[in-house]
Amino acid sequence: MTSRISIKTTFEPAKTIEPIYTGGDVSLDRSGRLLATCVEEDVLILDIQTGERVFRVENDGEAITSLALSPSASHLVVCSRSLSMRVYSLNNQKPELQRTLKPHTTPVITSAIDATGTLLATGGADGTVKVWDIKGGFATHTFHGHGGVISALSFFQSTSEPTSRPQGKRKSIEADHASTDAPTFFLASGGDDGKIMIWNLHTRKSIASLHSHVSVVKSLDFSKQQQTLLSAGRDKTIILWDSKSWKPRKVIPVLEVVEAAGFALDGKYCYSGGEN
């Protein structure tokens, strides 16, 4: 006599695998553990070590043009094609929308938050750079100087400032400010015209204009240990700039279009990510 085998016909999912990235901007916190990514019109905050989703932030339903996660992961700033900028607090169990602003009259293409998590820089398609107080929700600086879309931003501190205005050709640097031993806060901005501007946040003036890239500047990073600014562009080069003279210290041919680059291990190494 044969026994009947019981076959299970209904099942419950043990785990659901969802997409974690569908294109667009990404941002890491200081620890490198939390990653913010775009999934359609929403933002996911992921724990890289566990692979678990920490938050899902439903934005305004429009395509996201830029996002920035603060170094301590306390705030998330999301900009969209609706021209709105939304600031979320991540300190509670659920993301909390703190405020909605209209930072530019054109879409925000890139954004960056400083190391203290208090200042936000936005770069618009109109060529304007603005600096914002994240907690207060107001603009502290507005900079003009680029002829096209702002494509890269980076805050940094430096004790070195050039003391003269060098004369030169297209690749020369313009500089005009006094030297000081105290750390000064700066903002570097790059545009699709290949130009890089260095802004002194205390004097609210440009102290250098760098013209060595011949295509879109995609990444900017600063090494405090090396006192060097790194810039990378779609002209297939990485340039290391001396923060004392604002002259190129080294030009590194990458041999492919660079979409992202930066320093690693206190500026001893640099990395790049490109089209390949």
Beta bridge partners, 96, equal 89
Cα–Cα distance for residue pair 269/116, rounded to 1 Å: 24
What is the pLDDT at residue 248?
97
What is the pLDDT at residue 158?
87
Helix (H) / strand (E) element for 78: namely strand 75-80
Q: What is the dihedral of CA 66, 94, 34, 54, to 10 degrees?
A: -120
Rounded to 5, what percent of the chain is helix, strand, coil?
Answer: 0, 50, 50
pLDDT tens column, 202-212 = 999 999 999 99
Query: With pLDDT > 70 as the criterion, what percentage of the chain qualifies?
Result: 91
Of 134, 141, 74, nearest to 101 by C-alpha is 134
What is the pLDDT at residue 275?
80
pTM for the full model?
0.86
Cα–Cα distance for residue pair 43/146, rounded to 1 Å: 30
Q: How confident is the model at residue 214 (pLDDT cuts 50, 70, 90)?
A: very high
Residues contacting 79, CB < 8 A, separation 6+: 64, 65, 66, 67, 85, 86, 103, 107, 108, 111, 122
Q: Compute CA 90 distance to the chain's CA centroid, rounded to the nearest angstrom.
A: 19
What is the pLDDT at residue 176?
44
Q: How confident is the model at residue 168 (pLDDT cuts 50, 70, 90)?
A: very low
pLDDT tens column, 117-157 = 999 999 999 999 999 999 999 999 999 999 899 999 999 99
pLDDT tens column, 3-56 = 677 777 788 888 788 899 999 999 999 999 999 999 999 999 999 999 899 999
